[in-house]
């Protein structure tokens, strides 16, 4: 089946935000007596919703975290974004080369994602075509976000390519039945991560955004 639409994850695929997000999460948790190493944060929570992380941490530590924690994260993240957020290397150059319609499927909040795209100068490639965890019952790793994004675009999931960087996201995209490209360029251990994404069903993996147009063309 040919690709007619491309759905991009946001964090770690379009914007270089994963490290920022993890550090803010670790800081907020530490303020509430929960200390988690950087490695454990990556292993357990990259790609998951903030609510899913909080739920898991609360179950582990046995007490509730403050109800305003996510709102505080949004404020802190946007402040850091304005000072230092960058696009993933090569994204600005590659997006204009992909002639197919594009949208975004993210486990992050819509308002923050849209502002991030504005900050790094790539929102014009997507407009308001964005599906987030706020639009579905279950965020990634459930397939709901990608199923809805495909439906909104007017295509069957198998006619959509998904570009994902996380285990959580690849699981969601594969379960939705999309052609799934695993991006490892934002990972520290790229080879190890690539093997993991292939094991989970990624159609192909790549670590350089410059390769994305040729991967899409191979299925178009």
Domains recognised in the chain with CATH numbers: 5-16+85-218 (3.40.50.1000), 18-84 (1.10.150.240)
| Percent with pLDDT over 90 in the chain | 65
Quote the mean pLDDT of the chain.
92
pLDDT (mean) for 147-168: 97
pLDDT computed for residue 145 by the predictor: 98
Cα-based distances in Å from 132 to 82, 103, 190, 198: 22, 11, 26, 25
Give me the phi and psi of 63, to 5 degrees please.
Answer: -150, 155
The pairing of strands 102-106 and 130-132 is parallel
State the residue for tokens 């080879």: 191
pLDDT (mean) for 71-96: 92
For residues 86 and 189, which has the higher predicted lDDT (pLDDT)? 86
List Cβ neighbours of 178 (8 Å cut-off, separation of 6 or more).
7, 146, 150, 157, 158, 160, 161, 162
pLDDT computed for residue 136 by the predictor: 97
The pTM of the full predicted model, rounded to 2 decimals, is 0.84
Q: What is the DSSP string of 124-139?
A: GGTTT-EEEGGGSSS-
pLDDT computed for residue 40 by the predictor: 86
Alpha helices in the chain (DSSP H): 18-31, 38-45, 50-61, 69-84, 91-94, 110-120, 144-153, 167-176, 190-199, 212-218
| Digit-coded pLDDT (tens) for 172-194 | 999 999 999 999 988 878 899 99
Sheet with 179-183, side-by-side order of all strands: 130-132, 102-106, 5-8, 160-164, 179-183, 204-206
């Amino acid at each position: 089946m040919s690709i007619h639409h491309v759905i991009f994850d946001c964090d770690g695929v379009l914007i270089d935000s994963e490290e920022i997000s993890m550090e803010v999460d670790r800081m907020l948790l530490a303020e509430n007596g929960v200390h988690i190493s950087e490695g454990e944060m990556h292993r357990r929570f990259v790609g998951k919703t903030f609510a899913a992380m909080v739920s898991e941490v609360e179950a582990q530590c046995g007490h509730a975290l403050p109800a305003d924690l996510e709102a505080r994260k949004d404020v802190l993240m946007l402040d850091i974004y304005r000072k230092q957020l960058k696009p993933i290397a090569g994204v600005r150059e590659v997006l204009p080369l992909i002639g197919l319609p594009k949208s975004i499927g993210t486990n992050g909040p819509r308002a923050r994602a849209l502002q991030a795209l504005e900050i790094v100068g790539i929102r014009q490639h997507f407009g308001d075509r964005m599906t987030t965890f706020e639009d579905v019952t279950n965020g990634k790793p459930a397939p709901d976000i990608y199923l809805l994004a495909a439906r909104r675009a007017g295509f069957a999931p198998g006619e959509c390519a998904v570009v994902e960087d996380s285990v959580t996201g690849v699981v969601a995209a594969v379960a939705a039945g999309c052609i799934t490209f695993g991006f490892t360029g934002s990972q520290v251990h790229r080879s190890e991560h690539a093997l993991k994404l292939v094991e989970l069903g990624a159609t192909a993996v790549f670590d350089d955004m410059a390769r994305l147009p040729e991967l899409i063309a191979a299925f178009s």
